[in-house]
Each structure stands twice: as C-alpha cells, then as structure tokens.
Amino acid sequence: MNPRKRNERKTYAMLRMVAAIGRAIQSPTSAEKDRAARWAAAWGVISGIRTRGIRLRRSVLSDHRHRHGPA
C-alpha cells in the first residue's frame, strides 16, 4: 500500500471525526448527540485511534427510530 494514500485516508478520517465531535457538542437533543458521538467513535477507529470496549457495527451507527419505511 502506498504510504501517502494511507496517510491521506487517515487525515480524512480524523477530519471527519473532528466534524462529528463538533456536531455532538452543538446538537440540541440527546439523541442527536448520541448519534454524532457514535460517528465520532467510528471515524476514530478508522483513523487508527484504539478505544477499549468499542465494537462498531453498521447497525450501531444508524438510528433505527428515524428510519424511513418498514423496520
């Protein structure tokens, strides 16, 4: 793997993590805060930040209460 591309992907993931943290801070409701915090954790894992006890699945990131259509 090209180290430059890996660094670019890591930088992008860290920028997305920072944006998600910002959304969590500015969210007016606790549900929005929770969702943004889950995305921040996901981007953190992708960028290489290791957190004990974090196991992420796609289903964890989506908020089933706001899903459109049948569940």
For 14-66, the pLDDT digits (tens) are 899 999 999 999 999 999 999 998 898 888 888 877 656 656 565 555 555 55
Please provide the size of the chain in residues: 71
Q: Supply the pTM of this predicted model.
A: 0.65
Q: Tell the residue number behind the tokens 């969590």, with chain if given.
A: 24
Task: Give me the pLDDT at residue 24, please.
Answer: 92
The pLDDT of residue 69 is above 60: no
Pure H helices in 1-71: 3-26, 30-47, 58-61
The structure tokens 């049948």 sit at 70
